Amino acid sequence: MEKRIELEKRGRPANQITELNLDNCRSTNIVGLTDEFTALESLSLINVGLTSLKGFPKLPNLKKLELSDNRISNGLNNLSASTKLTHLNLSGNKIKDLEELKPLDNFKELEVLDLFNNEATTIDSYRQKIFAMIPSLVYLDGFDVNDVEAVSDGEDDEEVNGNDSDEDGVEVSKNANEGEDDDDPEEFDDDDESEENGGLADVYNDDLENDDNDDDFEADENEDSDGDSDLAEEEEGEDEEESPARGTKRKHEGEEDDNDG
């Protein structure tokens, strides 16, 4: 425990430390914690293995003391110098009798006491007797004298966060509705895109039809040109056929002229 205390001090003077955490440092007795810690307000000794509080220092400004999950059965009178104590956690210890808790009636400012998992809590009318023993006590084991559960600071934060969550939920719902509104333009865009695609298809089909028409036109031109070529060839053939006849006629005309002469 002494080494752990030195580590927690971090080079600071003992009289300037207001909070000290010595959880799980394993020791059966208080060792190294001295009266020098005059400014200490919060001390945690959870699961250390303490069997006794003998040697507990005088800590005049101590307000919160965590001693849960140890093996303490008595000796609470060693805390008597910490008169400003408001919170004391003794849950998970070996306290069997209410008589062992009698020294706590000297703490005039003690408001919160936890005794969970102590055998003393099984005694008949245990709660009523403890509240009667410690008049300043507000909460015992998390509930007041009327069995109303204590509201911790963390729960207050959760409630605040819960309200914020509701507001956020409204915002989320609002955003969700906005998202639904945003879907309509998307659907409209899809329709437009379909129309555009349809338009492109029509244009493409028109181009194909035009290409087919052009091909037909070119084919017609080729057929016409082929027809003209055939006609020209036929005319040339006719000329060739007529040419010998004409030559023969001219020859006869020449012979007739010679005979006349």
- The 10 Å Cβ neighbour count of residue 50 is 22
CATH architecture of 2-150: Alpha-Beta Horseshoe (3.80)
Residue spans of the domains in the chain: they are 2-150
Burial class (CB in 10 A: 0-12, 13-18, 19+), 40: buried
The SS3 call for residue 152 is coil
Per-residue pLDDT of the chain (261 residues; tens, 9 = 90+): 999 999 999 999 999 999 999 999 999 999 999 999 999 999 999 999 999 999 999 999 999 999 999 999 999 999 999 999 999 999 999 999 999 999 999 999 999 999 999 999 999 999 999 999 999 999 999 999 999 998 865 554 444 444 544 444 444 444 444 444 444 444 444 444 444 444 444 544 555 455 555 555 444 444 444 545 454 455 554 544 444 444 444 444 544 444 444
* Cβ density class 73-87: b for 16+ within 10 Å, e for less: bbbbebbeebbebbb
